[in-house]
Amino acid sequence: MSEAKYPIKGACQCGQVTYELLAAPAMVAACHCRECQKLSTSAFSLTAFVDSKNIRFQGEMAEWKRPADSGNISAAKFCTNCGNRLYHYNPAEPDSIKLKPSTLEDTSILNPAIHIWTSEKQDWYQIPEGVKTCEKQP
């Protein structure tokens, strides 16, 4: 990750939900699972692992949940107006959120340290050399 000045502001597409990221994420990952491909409408989705005390949200969000392959619940918060997803979380782990970091104003910190679910990766996408990979969930 590049050096960034915190806090970094972020928002959904319409601006109804805004937030401030107060500290660097623990890690940024690129997930290639089919669910993340659907979410991002691309080859993968980026996720920044953030301690919930290091982020402050404002604005109305709705929630959607689904069971994950692990047996956990994957919950998502999104803007009630534009539908843009802001983050995911496991209700059993409230201190950790999975921020959808393309919503940040400064995306220079987005350098994935790991690519996961590469077993479902699109054949045409080439993972950069030297980056850690996992065929499924680590």
Q: Map out the domains of the chain with their CATH numbers.
A: 8-31+45-114 (2.170.150.70)
- What's the CA gap between 111 and 73, in Å, rounded? 26
The pLDDT value recorded for residue 1 is 44
pLDDT of 136 over the 80 cut: yes
Local confidence band at 3 (pLDDT 50, 70, 90 cut-offs): low
- What's the CA gap between 68 and 130, in Å, rounded? 28
Strand partners, 66: 74
pLDDT tens digits for range 11-68: 999 999 999 999 999 999 999 989 888 888 898 999 999 999 999 999 999 999 988 8
Q: pTM to 2 decimals?
A: 0.86
- What's the CA gap between 101 and 85, in Å, rounded? 10
Supply the mean pLDDT for the chain: 91
